[in-house]
Homo-oligomer: A and B are copies of this chain.
Amino acid sequence: MASKEDIAKILVPRSQRIDESLKELLPSTDSASSPEIKRYYEGVWDYNLRGGKRLRPALCMLSCSMFGGNEEDAVPTARSLELLQNFLLVHDDIEDESELRRGKPALHLLHGIGSAINIGDALHIYLWKSLLENKKLIGATKAFAVFREFVNQSLTTAEGQAIEIAWIRDGKFDVTEDEYFELVSKKTANYTITTPLRLGAIVAGAPKRDADAFNQLGERLGKAFQIQDDVLNITASGEGYGKEAVGDLYEGKRTLMLVHLLKKLKGEERDEVIRLLAQPRNEKTPEQMQRVAELLKEKGSIDYAKKKAADLAVKAREGFDKKFSSVEENESKKALRELFDFLVNREY
């Protein structure tokens, strides 16, 4: 098991490279022609400057180098993954009525909903702008393949988002495990794991079957990642964890733990949990949410989810070793394995 320092050695230099490349792409706030534009540029920069692990760029760059590609060739593509993430977070925070993002108020609480929608749109456009550099860097054919990958993946994410918003809007709580996993596949696994790894392979010029070999792995690991994300939201708290503790309960988010809990509970107790979670956000009290969090613990829902995540991660890891056995061992392959473990075992 890689130490926190080992993981930092993998993530930090790549994160810094993305920081640099963002400076080349996004407008500096000093260049603004008016106070209104300055404020807007600050909004465009904001989530990009709040840190985050920059996991997706790292996965993309490492996949590229694992196949013998030059990581520098993957920089605009990796940067687009980061912009995609930040665009989605800005809009998701409005859609989910989130209040905190990486330890600070969500963007729409700082700029208003209208401005935040527009800033999210700008980040979305910059993600495509970033890809324009690929033509010169890796040639038109690969550049188009990367472009196509982003299109398909973004549409999948939007469908996942549509499902999740509809469940919350319609008060749908009778979600099955299959439905939950379909949601996670569309909304998270695809853009968090599968696409970054596929993109690295495409940039490196690896055969199509190598890019495709990431599909099942990304699916499994992405699900494990999301489950762990949901578990952390219930169990983590305080410093180091930048989101609202039990924020998912305030948002009424359907998680594997909740699916499990609602299956375990019967009659009045079940109705009570649904009633508590179905309330409008501003009517929920900390005591009520704490009560649900305790039920998740008592009824074994947290342990169930952790076990499921661990199983998925083991399968993903085995699949990786098997599918890429013909790719010779190298630093990048080793680093990817360490990241895969980290994604599921992280505490932050």
User: A residues engaging B (CB < 8 A)?
Assistant: 34-37, 39-40, 91, 94-96, 112-115, 117-122, 124-126, 128-129, 132, 135, 140-141, 143-144, 147-148, 150-151, 154-155, 158-159, 161-163, 165-170
Are A125 and B112 in contact (CB-based, < 8 A)?
no
Taking a contact as CB atoms under 8 Å apart, the answer to whether B124 and A166 are in contact is no
Q: Which residue of B lies closest to A152 (CB)?
A: B129
Copy number in the complex reads 2
Q: A118-B161, A121-B124, A161-B118 are in contact. Are A144 and B151 (CB under 8 A)?
A: no
Q: How far is the CB of A37 from chain B (nearest CB, A)?
A: 6
Knowing that A36-B170, A95-B118 are A-B contacts, what are 10 other residue pairs whose CB atoms are under 8 Å apart, sorted by A's residue number?
Answer: A37-B162, A40-B159, A40-B163, A91-B117, A94-B114, A115-B165, A122-B155, A132-B148, A135-B144, A140-B140
A114 touches B158 (CB 8 A): no
Contact A95 B117 (CB under 8 A): yes
Closest to A36 in B: B166
Neighbouring B residues of A118 by C-beta, 8 Å: 91, 95, 158, 161-162, 165
| Most chain B beta carbons < 10 A, residue from A114, A115, A129, A170 | A114
Return the chain B residue nearest A35 by Cβ.
Answer: B166
By the criterion CB–CB under 8 Å, are B112 and A129 in contact? Answer: no
- Pairs across A and B, CB under 8 Å, 23 listed: A34-B163, A36-B162, A36-B163, A37-B162, A37-B163, A40-B158, A40-B159, A40-B163, A95-B114, A115-B162, A115-B166, A117-B117, A118-B162, A119-B162, A121-B158, A121-B161, A128-B128, A128-B151, A129-B155, A132-B148, A132-B151, A135-B144, A140-B141
- Is B166 in contact with A39, judged by CB distance below 8 angstroms? yes
**Chain B residue with Cβ nearest A140:** B140
Residue of B nearest to A124 (CB): B124
**CB distance A115 to B154 under 8 Å?**
no
A125: chain B residues at CB < 8 Å are 151, 154-155, 158
> A154-B125, A155-B125 are known contacts. Are A147 and B165 too (CB-CB below 8 A)?
no
Interchain CA distance A120-B91 in the complex, whole Å: 11
Establish whether residues B117 and A94, one from each chain, have CB atoms under 8 Å apart when the complex forms.
Answer: yes
Residues of B within 8 Å of A114, CB to CB, are: 94-96, 165, 168-169
A126, closest chain B residue (CB): B155
Q: How far is the CB of A117 from chain B (nearest CB, A)?
A: 5
Expressed in whole angstroms, the Cα–Cα distance for A158 and B113 within the complex equals 15
Instruction: Assess the B113–A113 pair: CB atoms within 8 A.
Output: yes
Min CB distance A107 to B, Å, is 13
Q: How far is the CA of A114 from the CA of B91 in the complex (A)?
A: 8
Tell which of A125, A167, A170 has the most Cβ of chain B within 10 Å.
A125
